[in-house]
Amino acid sequence: RGEQRRAGGLGPDTWAADFPLANGPRQSPINIIPKEAHYDPSLKALKIRYDPSNTKGILNNGHSFQVDFVDDTDSSSQQTSTVPHPVILYYTTLTGGPISGVYRLKQFHFHWGGSDNRGSEHTLNGIKFPCELHLVHWNTKYPSFGEAAEKPDGLAVVGVFLKIGAANPRLQKVLDALDAIKTKGKQTTFANFDPKTLLPGSLDYWTYEGSLTTPPLLESVTWIVLKEPISISPAQMAKFRSLLFTGDGEAPCYMVDNYRPPQPLKGRLVRASFK
């Protein structure tokens, strides 16, 4: 895809000019070779705890769409103009796995291709999946996501592969909201969505130290990539591909191929939570 335009910016091959981290020592995504991963019996099971009241909205951000969660306590984010909300009692949190401490879910989003032979960011033995889900969490030892994004242990992203198969009923609520956020900058309300319903039966994972996969490519992500994919049907994939990179009034450009290809491992260890 090289220099091919991705609306609102140029492709991954051009990022190094403005973001020198693009050629850094711990960039993401990577190609995962299961046979070269090291089983680590000290890795704990992932624990995800979800509070249904946490979902905030769904947004077309011009390079993907994301479902945002309430992840801060300041009143502005929870008070509506008239009715004050009770302070959220607890958040959607990730603990266990390769991380220590409590990480809070901020948003989830996807990456996908223009056809079923590409779209995922991580690859398995060089194989690309048509789509990949990212659940983005930040370490609550830091005051905010923005601060955490600058720290080497600041973020944890759970990656889930999607493979073509039967229609996935768990995706339907997300898909139904896409008509309202077709163009860049559009957002709509989205309530009571349990992100745990998007996870596969097994929480076996590979983990390695990496980065954000879009600029500013910050090297602050502990990646946790699940071994078991979830399914998505061709019709559901087509719905993702009907979104636009472009804003209202711009020449329309379909939101496809919003993935960064695998980056050099540079000596990093990939650990497996399973034999």
Ligand X SMILES: NS(=O)(=O)c1ccc(C(=O)NCc2c(F)c(F)c(F)c(F)c2F)cc1
Write out the catalytic residue numbers.
63, 142
User: Is the Cα dihedral 159, 155, 247, 251 positive or negative?
Assistant: negative
Q: What is d(CA 28, CA 265) in angstroms, rounded to the nearest whole number?
A: 9
134 binds ligand X (CB under 6 A): yes
Q: Which stretch binds Zn ion (CB under 5 A): 70-78, 89-97, 129-137, 234-242?
A: 129-137
Q: What is d(CA 19, CA 22) in angstroms, rounded to the nearest whole number?
A: 6
Q: Which two tokens stand for residue 55?
A: 């979902």
Q: What residues between 80 and 119 interact with ligand X by CB under 6 A?
A: none
139 or 214: whose CB is closer to Zn ion? Answer: 214
Minimal distance, residue 188 CB to ligand X, in Å: 19
Binding-site member from 63, 134, 186, 227 for Zn ion (CB under 5 A): 134
Q: What residues between 155 and 194 interact with Zn ion by CB under 5 A?
A: none
Q: Which stretch binds ligand X (CB under 6 A): 46-54, 112-120, 143-151, 191-199?
A: 143-151
Minimal distance, residue 150 CB to Zn ion, in Å: 18
Residue 180 CB neighbour total at 10 angstroms: 13
- DSSP secondary structure string, 154-195? SEEEEEEEEEE-S--GGGHHHHHHGGGG-STT-EEE--S--G
Residue 129 CB neighbour total at 10 angstroms: 25
136 binds ligand X (CB under 6 A): yes
Minimal distance, residue 83 CB to Zn ion, in Å: 34
Q: What is d(CA 182, CA 90) in angstroms, rounded to the nearest whole number?
A: 32
Minimal distance, residue 132 CB to ligand X, in Å: 9
Q: What residues between 209 and 228 interact with ligand X by CB under 6 A?
A: 212-214, 216, 218
The residue nearest Zn ion at its CB is 134
Q: What is d(CA 30, CA 2) in angstroms, rounded to the nearest whole number?
A: 18
Q: Which residues bind ligand X (CB under 6 A)?
A: 134, 136, 145-146, 149, 157, 212-214, 216, 218
